[in-house]
Chain A
Amino acid sequence: MTALVLPAGRTLLRQPIWMFAAAAALIFVGIAPHFVSIGNAQNVLLQSSTIGFLSLGLTIVMINGNIDLSVGWVAALAASLAVGLQSFGVLPAVIAGIAAGVLIGLLNGLIVWKSGIDSFIVTLGTMAAVRGVVFLYTREQSFAAMNLGYSAFGSSFIGPLPTLGLLFLVSASMLEFVLLKTVHGRDAYAVGGGRQASMDAGLKVGWHMTINFVLSGFFAAIGGIALSTQLGASTPDMGSDLVLWTITAIVVGGTDWRGGQGSLVGTVGGVFAIAILRNGLALMHVPSFYVLVILGAVLIAALVWERKLGTI
């Protein structure tokens, strides 16, 4: 599917992360029981959707030269609203969740634009604030989804693909199109690669940054809601690890956090690579504690590797 959107010449194989993902998959084929099965593959795709959605928006923000630390807790907020407000109907609740994500993204963008504060500090602030809001709203309770259809959605399929996985891939393709083909997308790269040069050339830098933060908030919300449909619930500490995994997927996928460079193809590769890694390790009954260590090691290894390649 992504092949339809990519310009001629850029193939999946050019991104080293896909080779890493393929290699990891091959290794697990050998050592992990039940790894090779349709069910498991579907599982991997499903599990990658949450981090997947978050990393789509965050990748664009990073290409733009910024960072958004609030994605994890925005996801949690959206999930809590989408589940907690279901007494008003599922659709209004979901819309409320998405709206929350969009609004916070807008806030992030406007503050970064108008204040000139680095996005690290701004999103550190909004992350803390959103976390507070989540806890205030949920009062540290987990919410269970009232609507059974909601949780069923999380495990539903369209054809052979899990719905959420399909949505993820479709979103990724659309965003890749935006990045590669539209003016906004190309300007995002320009701003990320040279903010001052872009300003001098007359680009509406602040406007572009705000749109990208809104995208990030939007997809963070979608990701959170997606996770809650799988769990059939929202938990108060949902947001804590998400941003770490998201950044890992993006960095491992080859996007340069300093801006100007990167692609969603790489990020999707990173998301799959990590999902495969987690899935394989889980099938091998490796305790989740070790997974954390491996995650950290993988991230560091990716950095060293990219440094050696000269992309850093």
Chain B
Amino acid sequence: MTTALEMKKLSLAFGGLKAVTDFSMALPPRGLYGLIGPNGAGKTTVFNLLTGVYVPDVGSVELVGQRIDGKKPSQIARAGMARTFQNIRLFGELSVIDNVRTAAGVRTKSGWARTLLRTPLFVAEERALDERCHELLEIMGITHRQEEQAKSLPYGDQRRLEIARALATEPKVLLLDEPVAGMNTQEKKEMRGLIQKLREQFGVAILLIEHDMGLVMDICEQITVIDHGVTIAVGSPKDIQSDAAVIEAYLGVPDERDTPQPKGSA
């Protein structure tokens, strides 16, 4: 079975700062993998490498067997990889549905000529686009707000909108950057179910970055842990939870001062 997304020995350095070193991963079709690590570990940098925002110094990225490293982000999106952003990058002034429509546009073929002349192909594509976008909003549960400006949405809905938008590009691989950041327990529970369903409904492989360990351990099939750009552990949730290197990275090495001293010995 070909992998949906394969990263081989990706490395990127900014001057002297080694942001990502020797990163490899093979994401199977419809897989749900997690990427975790302390803050500043380089997780979003990996996403940026995958989506073409940065060009890796060394290594390769293959999407369904095709090399995509070095390509422009728009080409990579067209090839079938979509993402959400850690800091939410919606098209704020545009309406909710227009945000989704914009992304869906990558699958249309009508150029300016057909657009300005409103040819039958253009009309058909716009109708199809509309239909699909409405369905996407329904699945993500934000139909009721579709004409509102994206920036006026509550935070949780904004994250859902970002996912709907990414799905509109008909991706084979979906990269979710902290999809439940800032959500309350109820919202997180809903998202958990939603993310898992996405794989079946859209036939998409998912790689997610998250800090919410509950979510990650619960839904991810495999987890990669990185710290300072270096992979320190790879395995199933159970393996990761008991891995010493991971614990050290997150909590640090136990220090004398951490353990309570018996009274009267200082």
Chains A and B bind each other:
no
Q: Which residues of A contact B (CB under 8 A)?
A: none
